[in-house]
Amino acid sequence: MKGYTIHDVPTIHVDEDSKSSLEGTDSTQELLMSEAVIEVTESDGIIGPISKFESHNGVGKYHRAFSVLLFDSSGRLLLQKRASHKITFPNVWANSCCSHPLFSDSEKDETNNIGVKNAAVRKLEQELGISPEEVSIDKFEFVTKMKYQARQDQDWIEREIDHCLVIHTDVNLNPNPNEVSDVKWVSQAELEEMLIANDPENVIAPWFRCIAARLMTDDWWMPGCVTPDDLIHDMGDVSHMLPNAIGADLTTSIAEVKDLVENRIERALTHTNLERLSGAMMHLVEGGGKRLRATLPWLVAKAVGDTHSGLLDVGAAIEIIHNFTLVHDDIMDDDDIRRGRASVHVEYDLPTAINAGDAMLAIAFEAMAVAEGIEPELLPFLVKRIGRMVRKCSEGQQLDIEFESRESVSEEEYIEMIHGKTAAMFLTCAEVGAHLAGADEDTIHCMHDWGLALGLCFQLMDDLIDVLSDSDTLGKPSGSDVAQGKRTLMVIHALQQPPSQYKDDLLSVLGKGDSVTSDQVALAHRALDNLGSIEYARNKAEMYHRKAHDCLDRLPKSPAIKALKELTDYQLQRIF
């Protein structure tokens, strides 16, 4: 049967290391994982060939797909239940046929959607035994496209630009048991019943639920009545539509959208034709980074509601603002190194660095104003929340500056400072993500509290890491906080202790700047330890860590909560 054996289609070798994910799977389905499908951009532009394995495994990649909805002459829709042999999404009910065009001349052809139609004919025969003569190309109607991702578990994900095709014809079926375990014909009313039943024995594939619940109209059920469009409907991440879906870990969840966010950041920061300004704005971005803040609105939205590309645009804007604060922080702190490379004011010059930071702030708000999928009525909320975040960050930074010249700083004042300097950004990402996901007020408030606790824990642990890690790990000189006279919680606690040699050791180093040697820094760190200040700060961090987890425990079950829990544990894991 044409297309059934791997020799009939273009292939890409799956290396032996990758095949560990295929261990124990059906041999025929494993062979088909070498098919060369079409990797595409978010806008369905062809990037090149990619193996079916790579497009679905781990992080996955956006690739072109099609979904056929085949109706018979009595107006019934053919559904298929995917076989238990299938590696991705086995044993779920889906539309008549859903698969991928291959990276071949006949199936890459975008003229009148001929490529996806050729692929549909091939797969209808391979999966359902339908003769190509019964489903000729001219019978297919292209309707629209949709973009979505749906995770099955840690190993397997769908990330597709799905072309929806309708065909009205009578066919003879001879299902391939390796692909299809059952078929049935349903009326429009029967499909509606399936959609609302939530029957664990008859689970509906996430992509088909998107089509049936969000895209299909009455016209699809009638021959010749569909009106095609040139849209790509953004469904976001719909993993929650699969009842038994298992969420990915934090690293994988960030990686799913990291490149998409970074593309947005680069596009925004390189829009100017002034190369030096663009280079200065991109300098820290090109130095890498975990992109926790950039991806956080998306990660939160996945856990509490609906996702869409606008969350990535907002995340990119927040990441640009975060990098703007780093550029100016390095100037104010006179730090020469950031992320293992020269700071912007060192690599370029001081006026350029200041100007680049100013431009980045403006660009972030510009990018947010044209964010995809953000309704105009949401812009005042976003401007207010993100404007508040920038103000709080500035207030926190000002307090941090003033603390260095003060003899006494209280613990309450320190918490206020890090609330603005660090936690404001985390709580804003979480609050905005929940709001844009359509969550209710209680959930939005819960995520605000989670972001606040997470941010406070994050900064406390960051202070601890400066004391307990070496320079290579930090990407900046170890102990720079003590040398600069930073009033961290550890220092505040230590200075409140009775006079002692340990306290004198700390005071001999605190705020002495570049003149401090590594041995003196080590002396100050030992003093903090002996005064109980490191343990005190660690206990405080663990308290906020527990508060953050308490917030997550209040949320309904969702596969995406796994990543948020790992993020909550992230800084603690770096130090323990």
- What distance in Å separates the CA atoms of residue 112 and residue 520, rounded to the nearest whole number? 73
Number of domains in the chain: 2
- One domain for residues 38 and 169: yes
CA dihedral for 360, 366, 369, 372, sign (positive or negative): negative
Are residue 286 and residue 178 in the same domain, yes or no?
Answer: no
Partners of 430 in beta bridges: none
pLDDT for res 471 = 43
Domain match, 261 and 216 both: no
Domain identity same for 513 and 419? yes
pTM of the full structure: 0.92
Last residue of a domain, one of 241, 268, 290: 241
For 73, list phi and psi in degrees, rounded to 5. Answer: -70, -15
For position 484, what pLDDT does the model report? 83
Kindly state whether residues 29 and 75 are assigned to the same domain: yes
Phi/psi of residue 337, each to 5°?
Answer: -125, 140
Which residues, at least 6 apart from 411, have a Cβ–Cβ distance to it below 8 Å? 489, 492, 493
Residues 341 and 459 in one domain: yes
- Compute the distance between CA of residue 132 and CA of residue 22 in angstroms, rounded to an integer: 32
Domain end call among 219, 241, 263:
241
Give the residue from 222, 241, 260 where a domain finishes: 241
Phi, psi for 541 (deg, rounded to 5): -60, -40
SS3 68: strand
Q: Tell me what the pLDDT averaged over the chain comes to.
A: 93
Residues 6+ apart with CB under 8 A from 536: 489, 490, 493
d(CA 491, CA 493): 5
Tens place of pLDDT for every residue, the chain, 576 residues?
A: 455 555 668 999 888 877 788 988 999 999 999 999 999 999 999 999 999 999 999 999 999 999 999 999 999 999 999 999 999 999 999 999 999 999 999 999 999 999 999 999 999 999 999 999 999 999 999 999 999 999 999 999 999 999 999 999 999 999 999 999 999 999 999 999 999 998 888 999 999 999 999 999 999 999 999 999 999 999 999 999 999 999 999 999 999 999 999 999 999 999 999 999 999 999 999 988 889 999 999 999 999 999 999 999 999 999 999 999 999 999 998 888 888 899 999 999 999 999 999 999 999 999 998 888 888 899 999 999 999 999 999 999 999 889 888 888 999 999 999 999 999 999 999 999 999 999 999 999 999 999 999 999 999 999 999 898 764 444 445 557 888 888 999 999 999 999 999 999 999 999 888 788 989 999 999 999 999 999 999 999 999 999 999 999 999 999 999 999 999 998 777 765
Shared domain check, 541 and 434: yes
With respect to residue 1, please indicate whether it lies within any of the assigned structural domains. no
Q: Which residues contact 438 (CB under 8 A, 6 or more apart)?
A: 305, 306
Q: Are residues 426 and 504 in the same domain?
A: yes
Residue 462: both structure tokens together: 């960051």
Look up the CATH number of the domain holding residue 140.
3.90.79.10
42-72: per-residue pLDDT in tens? 999 999 999 999 999 999 999 999 999 999 9
Question: Domain for residue 310, yes or no?
Answer: yes
In a domain, 436, yes or no: yes
Work out the end-to-end distance of the chain between its first and last CA atoms, rounded to an integer number of angstroms: 57
Q: Would residue 62 count as lying in a domain?
A: yes
Q: Is the domain of 223 the same as that of 286?
A: no
Residue 100 lies in a domain: yes
- Establish if 234 belongs to a structural domain: yes
Q: Is residue 93 part of a domain?
A: yes
Residue 396 lies in a domain: yes
Q: What is the pLDDT of residues 472-502, one digit of tens each?
A: 444 445 557 888 888 999 999 999 999 999 9
What phi and psi, each to the nearest 5 degrees, are found at residue 90?
-75, 155
Same domain, 428 and 563: yes
Looking at residue 7, what is its pLDDT? 61
- Residue 80: which region, alpha, beta or left (left: phi > 0; alpha: psi -120 to 50)? beta
Q: Does residue 147 sit in the same domain as residue 200?
A: yes
Tokens describing residue 379:
């812009």
The enclosing domain of 569 has a CATH number of 1.10.600.10
Structural domain harbouring 298: 250-575
280 and 370 together in one domain: yes
To which H or E segment does residue 491 belong?
A: helix 489-495
- Rounded to whole angstroms, the Cα distance separating 14 from 10 reads 13
